[in-house]
Amino acid sequence: MTENNIQEELIVNNQRIRVVIINGIEYISLTDLARYADPDEPKIPIQNWMRNKDVVLYLGLWEKIHNKSFKGVEFDTFKNNSGSNMFRISPQTWIKNTDAIGMISKSGRYDSGTYAVSDIAFELSNGKIITGRQTELLSPVRSGNYYVK
């Protein structure tokens, strides 16, 4: 996420959600969405969400439709292992091993976080990431370019 990218911000339910536009594609911050579930360690809800077999299948389908360089064989390994208690995956591992384009993730002290295209971000925010709390961040009401409640 460099200086040439456009950065925007949404305020949803008094929470800041960063949006970055890279090469004309909007990516919504999964990290900011996950802070709703765990303000101190947002990576944990994201990783827990990504362990779910349905989520891995969804991510794989999205990539197969939108990404000609998607590595299907590597995806099959994740697909076969997902859902088990032993399965662990981070956004960086997913991106690196499958050449995924639906997510971007950067570690570091400044300008770090995990972002995803709106299709994937909405999947995360529609209650699949947050257990035990009602999800109010993004819902099926469209406002501008984003679904907000």
Q: Write down the domain spans for the chain.
A: 6-147
Per DSSP, what are the bridge partners of residue 96?
none
Beta strands in the chain (DSSP E): 6-12, 15-22, 25-29, 103-106, 113-117, 142-143, 146-147
pLDDT tens string 4-47: 677 888 887 778 889 999 988 999 999 999 988 888 999 999 99
The span from the CA of 38 to the CA of 73, in Å, is: 33
Mean pLDDT by 10 residues, the chain (149 residues): 71 84 92 89 92 94 96 96 92 97 86 90 68 41 44
Q: Return the pLDDT at 124.
A: 82
